[in-house]
Structure 1
Amino acid sequence: MVLTQYTYVFAIGTFFALLDAYNNGANDVANSWATSVSSRSISYRQAMVLGTIFEMLGAITVGARTAETIKNGIIPNSAFRGNAPVQMLAFTCALAAASSWVMWCTRHSAHVSSTYSLISAVAGVGVATVGASKVQWGWNQGKGLGAIFAGLGLAPIISGGFAAIIFMLIKLVVHIRKRPARWAVYTSPFFFLIAGTICALSIVYKGSPRLGLSKRPAWFIVAATLGTGGGLALLSALFFVPFVHAKIIKKDHTLKPWMFILGPLLFKRPAPADADRVIIPNYAVVQEDGDQNMSVRSPDSGSDYDAHKTEKGNDLITTPTEIDERKLAVTEGTQATYKQRVADAESKLHAKLRMNRGPIGWAMRTLHNNPMGAGQLYEFHNMKILAKRIPAMIVVGALYGLHYDIHAAQSGIAGTPEGARMQRVYAHAEKFPNEVEHTYSFVQVLTACTASFAHGANDIGNSVGPWAVIYSAWSTGSAAASKAPVPLWQLAVLSATLSIGLITYGYNIMKVMGNKITYHSPSRGSSMEMGAAITVLVFSQYSLPVSTSMCITGATVGVGLCNGTLKAVNFQRVGLLLLSWIATIPIAGTLGGVIMGLFLNAPHFK
């Protein structure tokens, strides 16, 4: 029985479910990929493609588990007493409250947890609908609010611990060696082993209910997971290691990407005569447009990696003490100057985009050449201008993020308080040879995909859980139908919407994450992403929604502390993140409860 008279509630609930998934992609997924983009291991556009693929893969294969907790773990199904319309309205209000809060925060580049935003909104709606006594505040067999909010403090700590352990292993095995580049190349299959094992384990052991793999005997689970991880490690040893060896050790600049299929034959491939002139990307964080993005370094040299440029671009700083003594940006680093420099940087980007020959160039030129005229919007000349601007605004909204300069926005602007603060943070981080970091740039693509898989497995439940309840109540007319499995098509639709959010608006969160917390490099980024991915997948196996944003932030801080000093982490930024996480709980919960209370108690006529 379809509740046709409540179709409008279903339509509104669907809209807010899509909006919540979009905001999740723009906020949480962008934070996950900020590490890879910050480390310069992958471009923003490549992150969009890989993020879309692995977010959907994780959501479809494992995502249904955390959705069950959102659906039935916070507000017991029995509390609705079979009233399907009220159940639909409750989860619609929860989605409206959570998506509105996250959207506002994303617009203002304030990073919050979409997971805890929705959970808090569901709890607030539950209080307004069935009373505080009916809401599962306790553990509830690992599905209540007590279990979920335990992850608020545990997840970042656990993630930071995993990431720190992995990075310290890299330092011991690779960075402190006399020939670190060789050690980096030959130990890279370890990451393939770990990534393949944890992804396979998350799918096979209590993964997607439709696959039925959890009912298999223990020997099958062990064989499948270890076989997948070991097989992936073996393939990397046969094809990836020879390819990277030729590219990094032999410095063969004539190597083409497709040549990885030659495998061990690449070991016999002679190095080119001009191998010493090969250009290796420079992974140092810069703050000025004039800094070079490429450098030629020896794999065994490291003494010149601790040098950083000041805002003047000509003095070298090699010790934190010298930075403190210089006290960067004391006189010119006022708030007015900072805002002006940010505006100038944005103007330069817009001027560059207007020169583009593609759709984004046309759109930016149209907006620039057709400003709104004097008077109100309904003036005839303004209506004609608006007719030209609307198509251009749509194109800019869809493509602006793909052309945004993430690195310039992340590094801070030289000569400002933010730039000076990040200069000090970067100076306390040890720098490693570019050849070593270049090796880990390949590895980080793998770890980023693993982290994206983990995010899709966990965070898709935020949006699909309430939407599945709304759909089942509307399509069957029964509140008890919410216990049915989540339809596969809903997981696919929302994971695709999540990817759209990442592509079109993720830059607004990326620009305040990554290098704004601590110094990033591919070897550090690989450790951060792997530590966060392991933590998220562990929580997913126990059906506990956890903030992937908190996990990657905890991993970032953990790796930053491996520099041996607190000064290598920007705790001002971490404090702002912590404040936003804590504020999300009462704000989203109160907003959801108020919206639901207004609907339930609104005047109505028979």
Structure 2
Amino acid sequence: MVDSPEIGIPYLYKGLITWAFFWAFLDAFTIGANDVANAFANAVGARTISFRTAVSIACVCELVGVIALGSTVTDAVRKKMVKVDWFKHDPYVLALGMSCVNLGSGGWVFIATTLSMPVSTTHSVVGAILGIGIATWGASGVNWGYDGGFGGVVASWFISPILSGVLAAIFYLSTKFLVLKHPDDVAVRRGIALLPVYFFFAFGVVAGFMVMKGIPALKKTPYKVTVPVTFGIAIFFGIVGYIFCVPWTRRAICIFPGFFMDIGGLKEEDAAMHAKAFQAYSKTEEMFKMLQLTTCCFFSISHGANDMANAVAPFATVWMVYSTGTVSSKADVPMWLLVYGGLALDVGLLTMGYYIMDALGNRLTLQSPSRGFCIELGAMFTVMTFSRLGVPVSTTHCISGATTAVGLCNGDVGAVNWKLVGVIFGGWLLTCPCAGIVTGLLYWAIAAAPSPVAGNGFFSGYHG
């Protein structure tokens, strides 16, 4: 293959870098509207916090994750679906492709968000990169295998929601039969007595999640370090829960009666669905609010630290090519780019986050603090486990699967909105092909278009 004469020449195609800057904003914007929103949807649906409070907390947590814990180095081609070395002969073609990835991925997630479909932004980026690879090299230019390839992504569509649902159901059924189904006063006493156990599991899963998934710098830490640290943190917070939170909760429940779900304002079909769900004593549910909010916050911090790369990695690659004129397997991520992506993400959550919070809140099944807490635990444990094993999974898929499974724990299939489940699953299946087709066609149309020659035709003012 003949090397392009542009290799090693930086700062070419200023128009490309300008448009890439805007497309990166679009991609980060839609991640905020879709991905971040699903982390807080259960808390809002359970009335643990209001929508405004959720947006405020999420904006802060995401920025903390992006700035304090975000990776400053990323893969030039996310998820390694296409070999970056294949573009070393023409680096600006790679820059064009990654710019199209931001536009194609962000455009699809924007459409899905307006349709209230919680989709995987990771898989949207993967699909967009597949489109670039196929448009450039054909089917042979894509890693279709399971280990690090597209086969693993397809498997995760089914594995992650099922496993997450099973774990969330186990957590919730244990809570339901040990605490919630007992008479009111007995349920409160049992819940308070088990608070240290819940603290142990909650902070143990959170600690493991942050070490294995949320903080990029710690992902390769050996098990002999992560396992003892995780258990140590879990035991510490279990003791804290016993010493401080048990007496505080006992007093708080006596003073503040709290409230349970209010289905006023819901659509008629949603109200009928909620009527089929088990509803526990309100004071018992109050105990789970703090635990649910804690898991939501750490979920959000982890998302900012880890998944923001879905938006900034393609633009970081464009910037790498623009500033050096060369291709590398790793691309430096400037701090200003992390901040830029974090702000775009917050804007997306603020302006369009209600679409997904509404869909995954009370429209899918009845939510409550205890349900939301178990859903978050099941999803986080699944993501943590598979991330450590190197299997690509989506937090969106895990949350959706866990929410559906907990809804089934009511013992009535009518307690789940199956029409919405179908819409959500359809969005999962469409994400990769739609993002890939749009991105591939856009990239191919631009890359294969006629290139004007200086001094000829229209660009010289000569039309004869």
Asked if residue 573 in structure 1 is aligned to residue 420 in structure 2, the reply is yes
Change (3 A) 1:108 1:568: closer
Which one of 175, 180, 198 corresponds to residue 175 of structure 1?
Answer: 180
Which one of 230, 253, 258 corresponds to residue 280 of structure 1?
Answer: 258
Structure 1 unaligned segments of length 5 or more: list them. Answer: 254-278, 288-407, 413-418
Which one of 551, 559, 562 corresponds to residue 406 of structure 2?
Answer: 559
Asked if residue 151 in structure 1 is aligned to residue 156 in structure 2, the reply is yes
Q: How does 1:510-521 map to 2 (within 5 A)?
A: 510-521=357-368
Aligned to 1:432, what secondary structure does the other structure show? coil
Structure 2 unaligned segments of length 5 or more: list them. Answer: 1-7, 454-464
Which one of 77, 86, 97 corresponds to residue 90 of structure 1?
Answer: 97
| Structure 1 moving runs of 4+ over 4 Å | 57-67, 205-211, 484-489, 542-545
Supply the distance in 2 between the matched residues of 1:204 and 1:112 (Cα, whole angstroms). Answer: 25
8 Å CA contact 2:72–2:335 kept in 1: the answer is no
8 Å CA contact 2:407–2:415 kept in 1: the answer is yes
Q: How does 1:331-342 map to 2 (within 5 A)?
A: none
Aligned to 1:503: 350
Change (3 A) 1:69 1:582: farther
Residues 526-569 of structure 1: CA distance to partner in whole angstroms, max 9, x if unpaired?
11111112222333334555332221110111101111221211
Supply the distance in 2 between the matched residues of 1:449 and 1:197 (Cα, whole angstroms). Answer: 15
Amino acid at match of 1:86: V
Which one of 248, 255, 263 corresponds to residue 252 of structure 1?
Answer: 255
Offset of residue 14 of structure 1: 2.2
8 Å CA contact 1:65–1:207 kept in 2: the answer is no
8 Å CA contact 1:65–1:208 kept in 2: the answer is no
8 Å CA contact 2:179–2:188 kept in 1: the answer is yes
Asked if residue 225 in structure 1 is aligned to residue 230 in structure 2, the reply is yes
Aligned-pair identity (%): 35
Residues 278-318 of structure 1: CA distance to partner in whole angstroms, max 9, x if unpaired?
x431x23423xxxxxxxxxxxxxxxxxxxxxxxxxxxxxxx
Offset of residue 521 of structure 1: 0.9
Change (3 A) 1:136 1:231: same
Aligned to 2:283: 435
Considering only aligned residues, what root-mean-square deviation do their CA atoms show, in Å?
2.6
Aligned to 2:439: 592
Offset of residue 126 of structure 1: 1.2
Change (3 A) 1:521 1:206: closer
TM-score normalised by the chain length of structure 1: 0.68
Aligned to 1:471: 319
* Structure with max Cα Rg: 1
Aligned to 2:255, what secondary structure does the other structure show? coil
Supply the distance in 2 between the matched residues of 1:72 and 1:549 (Cα, whole angstroms). Answer: 17
Q: How many residues align?
A: 444
8 Å CA contact 2:74–2:331 kept in 1: the answer is no
Amino acid at match of 2:251: A
Supply the distance in 2 between the matched residues of 1:579 and 1:72 (Cα, whole angstroms). Answer: 23
Supply the distance in 1 between the matched residues of 2:416 and 2:148 (Cα, whole angstroms). Answer: 34
Aligned to 1:601: 448
Offset of residue 185 of structure 1: 2.1
Change (3 A) 1:495 1:441: same
Q: How does 1:4-23 map to 2 (within 5 A)?
A: 4-23=11-30
Supply the distance in 2 between the matched residues of 1:60 and 1:537 (Cα, whole angstroms). Answer: 21
Change (3 A) 1:584 1:560: same
Amino acid at match of 1:190: V
Which one of 420, 423, 442 corresponds to residue 271 of structure 2?
Answer: 423
Supply the distance in 2 between the matched residues of 1:203 and 1:73 (Cα, whole angstroms). Answer: 23
Offset of residue 160 of structure 1: 0.6
Amino acid at match of 1:20: D
Offset of residue 119 of structure 1: 1.3
8 Å CA contact 1:13–1:470 kept in 2: the answer is yes
8 Å CA contact 1:17–1:464 kept in 2: the answer is yes
8 Å CA contact 2:76–2:84 kept in 1: the answer is no
Asked if residue 196 in structure 1 is aligned to residue 174 in structure 2, the reply is no
Q: How does 1:52-91 map to 2 (within 5 A)?
A: 52-59=59-66, 64=71, 68=75, 70-71=77-78, 73-91=80-98
Aligned to 1:590, what secondary structure does the other structure show? helix
Supply the distance in 2 between the matched residues of 1:68 and 1:189 (Cα, whole angstroms). Answer: 41
Aligned to 1:358: none
